Structures are given as C-alpha cells and as structure tokens.
Structure 1
C-alpha cells in the first residue's frame, strides 16, 4: 500500500471505504485514522475525507456523490448554485438523483431521490449535474413558500438558463407531487412577471377592476423612438406601473436610472405609478386606490402616441 497512490486516487480528498480497501488500506487502518483526533474524518457512512476539520463545499458535494453511488447526479438548489443561480438562501443540503433501482436513503445533509427519469448529465464545477430546468423544479417541488419558488424560477428564466416552455414541459413530464407552487409561479412568469414583486403586482392589479395590465411590454413612440419598458402597462390610457425593487438606500446609479426612466416616460405623456414591494404585500388596497385614481387622471387627458408590443 502506497499512501501517495491513496492521495492521488482521492478527488477533493474524498474516498469511500471500499475504494480505500481496494488501494490496500485495511479496515483497521481506516478506523484508526478516522477516530477522534485522527488525521481523517468520516463524513458520511462509508465515505472518508483524507483530512480532519470542516469539509469545503466541493468536498461535501464529492462526498454526497460517493455516498449515493456512481450514477448519482446533483440536482435541486445545490445544482442551481453550480449553474450560477444565486437568488436563494444558501443551504448545506445536497440533493442527488439516483436510478430507482438503487436503495440509498437520506443521510446527514444528503437528500437521495430515487427516480425512473434520470436527467441528461451536464458537468458544472466538475460535478455531474442535472440540467438547470430539472434542477430548479426539483428544488421548487420541495419548497413550501410561493415567493421562494417564484424567485428561483424567475431567476433561471431571466438569466436565460431556461424558458417557460421548458419548465412547463418538465412539470408535465414529472410527478404531480409538489407541483402546485411551481405551476402557479410559472403562470405568473408566462404572463410577464420577472420577479416575485412583479408577481405580487399582477395579483393586486387583477383586483383593481381596471382594464388588464400587461407586463414588461416594449414601448415606442409613433415616430419609432424606443422608450423604457415599464413593469406594468394599461394600454388604453398609457398608464405605467413601476415596481421599485429597492425601497431604501438606493445606490446612486440605481436611483439615477430610476429617475431617468421616470423622466423619459413622463416626458412622452405617460402617467407613471411607482410602488414598492412592501406596499403590494401589506397595503394592496392603497395601491389599488392609487391605480384607480391614476387611471382616471390618465383618462382625462388625450392619450399620447405610444405604441406597445407584448
């Protein structure tokens, strides 16, 4: 047995006990090195880190895959992070998919999901990973807060990592279990909401009794000048609603861009209503009253020559 061979065989310093034994390390030697105060650490049943201390994120991922077996694939939030998504609370859990015939169970920080629908594998950060569409929906099915679900799916779509059509196809192909919140979030995204706050805005606007509000439309003047795209738009009176994502302490550049958008739209005769996310959540009736009054104001003046596309 050559300790150098052991180190070379260990990806991210992680090996299973079976792999160690195949390299000539006896069970007794393994036990001696992982005991309290020893130089190694047993991370999961049958999985050893060839050093002591807290594993890195890469070591935790590698250990989860070694524990789950050679065909295991990272999915859920762990995979979403590997795909570069970040608008969710970090978690130490690692969600992996394994073929249905496998008999591994959840252990420690590892969620093992047996499936008859193993996804195509893409490599991210050196790890076998489910494609982003499958990964975010696997995560969403286990969430119980609609805002978290919509934030995750909206980020994946907004960053161009997937599309509403691909998300819908994956939802239809999978189990109905845990699909209610992702379906609702996908409906809002399909209708134009690019964020959780815009989803709240949709629901509030729908209660206003006003003509339908379109979302993230493209605007131009009759002469062809392109204008900023508002969050919400009521076309018959050229009324825009802007959901300002940051309520306090806007960075100077963010504040400047908000003012520029407002000034350009109002200079072309558009009536602009600004709301912040907390108002949509806690004061929807006030927002509705403001929308109605702004609509009446917009209806009293001649409609400006603005063309909207959605």
Structure 2
C-alpha cells in the first residue's frame, strides 16, 4: 500500500513535502485539509495521520522544518538531559536562516555548538540547553529552580554555566543574575530562607558552613547556622532525595546533630513558600529554645581546615 511505502520513508510518521512529491504524491496538502487523513505540522512538513502528534513527532517535525545540521536546545533539550524545564516551546538552533512560528523557535547560530545524540535526537550540551531555556523565561524562581536542578543533579557546574552565559550573552541577564544569587544560596528555598531571616531580623552570616564538635569531628553543614545559640536550620526537600542513600544521609546528619546537642529546625521549601509567616514564628521559637539551654561545645570549621571538605559535611539535601 502507498501509505506503508510512505511511512518507510518517514521518521516516526513525519515526512517533508519534498520527499512526498518525490515518492509520487503530487499534492500532499490536499490530504491535510480538514477531515483529511494527514496534517500539516509546519511549512513543508507533514504528519501521516490526523491524530494528536506525540512529543517525539513534534520534535522530529521541528528538526525537519529547521533543515540539515539543526540541533535541539532550550527547554526541550533540558528535558532530554533529564532536567525539569517548564517551557513548552521547541527551540532549535540552525546554521542558516529559517523562520519559526508558534511554539517553534528557530534561531540562527553564528557558530553551531557541538551536539550529541540523546534519546535519538541531536541535543546541545546541558549547559547550553539550560542557558537557552533561561533566555525564554521571565520568572527568576523558574530560572533558579532549573539552574539549581542542573547543578544538584551533576549535569552542570556553576562555573560551566557561567562560562556558557559569557559565551552566549544575548538574553542571558536572568541566568547570570541567578548564578550570582546561587553563589550565596543553592536553591530557591534557600534564597527565600535568607530573605525571611532578614525580614524578621533574625539573620546570620553563617550559611552552609561546616560545624565540628569538641573533638574536631565535622557534624554537618547546615543551611543556616545561628552560632550565638547553636541552632541549625535545614531547608529539607524531598526533591533532593533521589534514593535510599540520600535518605540515609539525612538521618545520619540528624543523629549527629542530636548527639552533639544541637537543636535543629527542619523546614520544607513548600511551607517556606506558601506559609512564610508560620515558618518565621517557628524559627523565632526555635532560636529562643536554643538560647534557653546551654550552648553545645561546637564551632564553625575554618574553610582551610583539613576536615572542612571531608565526610560528613556533604549536605544530604543537595
């Protein structure tokens, strides 16, 4: 049958009008009219059925529209790298001129970036994908969440993202602001924690510093450390627990705090976001409770101390 022959020459059922004409279909657009068996995906690109296209078919159609040498970037490339990008657009880099429309962004790259095959598609590096995805965002919280996820999941480093933003500076003001902020706070939640502590005038200069007991053994690296009363504040999120080992590390960390006599307040990012006033009251109460008891014999470890980078200061929620 003709349709089977055409599918053999298509990619996931997606095919160009030029290919269809070479296979003997003189007017493919007639079959794409309302009620027809096919549908037009982009100018010159046809889907050989009239049902909803899959995401892979949409991506295939975008790349066929873009032409030879095109590569995926932005939110779609982030998702192919396993990152939780929120954008629904398909962003494609092309070596020459091309015009996108709707949810298809076709961007000419003066120098085409390297790409690798990810899930069957040519995809830019995670760094380029994150930077390009942030260029399409308007929310600093969304950009922070994406950058933090890329770093925490080991797809990028802050340095590699900063380098990509310097190389590809157009429209990167937001991601550069996020990277600057993340130099002080590693997540949206931690940034919000800093803001809340300043608002209630219960702030501390000690964020993510290693704490050691009287014997010099490093106990942990709390998100916030109130050194005057020996209070640790941890912003713990299930989003950072990817397996049993992460959960075990969190339990071990809490056990070390308890053994050292450190009072610890644990806060979920969702409560910090949705009910900051309640969190503020809890933090004030925890600070008063810590102040009412003898301060435990613990201290901040200098960054140049041999134990400062050893186990267990690695944070369990990172």
**Alpha-carbon contact 2:230-2:295 (below 8 Å) kept:** no
**Alpha-carbon contact 2:75-2:86 (below 8 Å) kept:** no
Q: 2:184: which partner in 1?
A: 191
Q: Distance in 1 between matches of 2:18 and 2:296?
A: 75
Instruction: Decide whether aligned partners of structure 1 residues 281 and 54 sit closer, same or farther in structure 2, where only a CA change above 3 A counts.
Output: closer
Q: Distance in 1 between matches of 2:45 and 2:168?
A: 31
Q: 1:65: which partner in 2?
A: 63
Q: Distance in 1 between matches of 2:8 and 2:247?
A: 53
**Alpha-carbon contact 2:194-2:203 (below 8 Å) kept:** no
Q: Residue 270 in 1 paired to residue 262 in 2?
A: yes
**Normalising by structure 2, what TM-score?**
0.78
Cα distance, 1:175 vs structure 2: 2.5
Q: 2:73: which partner in 1?
A: 75
**Alpha-carbon contact 1:157-1:163 (below 8 Å) kept:** yes
Q: 1:243: which partner in 2?
A: 235
Cα distance, 1:293 vs structure 2: 6.5
Q: Residue 24 in 1 paired to residue 53 in 2?
A: no
**Alpha-carbon contact 1:214-1:234 (below 8 Å) kept:** no
Q: 1:97: which partner in 2?
A: 93
Instruction: Decide whether aligned partners of structure 1 residues 209 and 220 sit closer, same or farther in structure 2, where only a CA change above 3 A counts.
Output: closer
Gaps of 5+ in 2: 239-245, 302-307, 310-318
The one of 185, 206, 218 aligned to 1:213: 206
Q: Distance in 1 between matches of 2:284 and 2:170?
A: 39
**Normalising by structure 1, what TM-score?**
0.80
Range with greater deviation from structure 2 (40-49 or 263-272): 263-272
**Alpha-carbon contact 1:222-1:307 (below 8 Å) kept:** no
Cα distance, 1:137 vs structure 2: 1.1
Q: How many residues get paired?
A: 295
Q: Residue 137 in 1 paired to residue 131 in 2?
A: yes
Q: 2:37: which partner in 1?
A: 39
Q: Deviations over 1:89-139 (max 9, x none)?
A: 462x2111123x41x222232112223242211211111111111111111
Cα distance, 1:291 vs structure 2: 4.8
Instruction: Decide whether aligned partners of structure 1 residues 280 and 31 sit closer, same or farther in structure 2, where only a CA change above 3 A counts.
Output: closer
Q: Residue 111 in 1 paired to residue 105 in 2?
A: yes
Instruction: Decide whether aligned partners of structure 1 residues 105 and 192 sit closer, same or farther in structure 2, where only a CA change above 3 A counts.
Output: same
**Alignment root-mean-square deviation, CA:** 3.3
Q: 1:251: which partner in 2?
A: none
Q: Distance in 2 between matches of 1:51 and 1:280?
A: 48
Q: Distance in 2 between matches of 1:141 and 1:307?
A: 39
Q: Deviations over 1:263-293 (max 9, x none)?
A: 5413312232333435644665775676566
Cα distance, 1:294 vs structure 2: 4.9
**Alpha-carbon contact 1:205-1:213 (below 8 Å) kept:** no
Q: 1:233: which partner in 2?
A: 225
**Alpha-carbon contact 1:76-1:95 (below 8 Å) kept:** yes
Cα distance, 1:296 vs structure 2: 6.4
Q: Distance in 2 between matches of 1:144 and 1:90?
A: 11
Range with greater deviation from structure 2 (109-118 or 141-150): 109-118
